[in-house]
Amino acid sequence: MKVCVIGTGYVGLVSGACLAEIGNDVICVDAEAAKIALLERGEIPIFEPGLDELVNMNSLSGRMRFTTSLWEGVQASDVVFITVGTPPLPNGEADLSAVEEVARGIGQSLNGYKVIINKSTVPVGSGDWVALLVNEGMLQSRLGRVGGGGLADPDHAYDVVSNPEFLREGSAIHDTFFPDRIVIGSQSERAIRIMRELYAPLIERRVPGRLPSESHEVPFIVTDLTSAEMIKYAANAFLATKISFVNEIANVCERVGADVTQVALGIGLDRRIGNQFLNAGLGWGGSCFPKDVAALMHITKDYGYDPELLTAVQNVNQRQRALVVQKLQRHLKVLKGKTIAILGLAFKPNTDDLRDAPALAVARILLKLGARVKAFDPIAGKGAARLLPELCVCESPFEAARGADALLIATEWDEFSALDLVALRAEMSPHSGAMSRLQENPVLLDGRNLLNPSEVRAAGFTYQGMGR
Binding site for ligand NAD (CB under 6 A): 6-12, 29-32, 35, 83-86, 98, 101-102, 120-121, 165, 167, 169, 287-288
Please state the closest distance from residue 104 (CB atom) to ligand NAD, in A: 10
C-alpha to C-alpha distance for 410 and 428, rounded to whole angstroms: 18
Q: Label each residue of 64-85 as H, E or C.
A: EEEECCHHHHHHCCCEEEECCC
Give φ, ψ of 262 to 5 degrees: -70, -40
- Closer to ligand NAD at the Cβ: 287 or 432? 287
Residue in 4, 18, 253, 288 annotated catalytic: 288
Q: What is the smallest separation between the CB atom of 309 and ligand NAD, expressed in angstroms?
A: 21
Tell me which residue has its CB nearest to ligand NAD: 9
d(C-alpha 54, C-alpha 18), whole Å: 8
User: What is d(CA 110, CA 115) in angstroms, rounded to the nearest whole number?
Assistant: 11
Least separation in angstroms between CB 12 and ligand NAD: 6
| CA separation, residue 366 to residues 343, 436, 465 (Å) | 14, 18, 18
427, 460 Cβ separation under 8 angstroms: no
Backbone angles phi, psi at 225, to 5 degrees: -55, -45
- Closer to ligand NAD at the Cβ: 6 or 240? 6
Which of 12, 344 has the CB closer to ligand NAD?
12
Cα distances (Å, whole numbers) of residue 108 to 81, 136, 137, 141: 16, 8, 5, 5
Question: What is the nearest approach in angstroms of ligand NAD to the Cβ of residue 87?
Answer: 7
Nearest to ligand NAD of 31, 379 (CB atom): 31
Q: How far is the CB of 30 from ligand NAD (least distance, A)?
A: 4
Q: Chain centroid to CA 274: how far?
A: 21
253 is catalytic: no
> Closer CB to ligand NAD, residue 20 or residue 424?
20
**CB 17, CB 65: distance < 8 Å:** no
List residues with catalytic annotation. 288
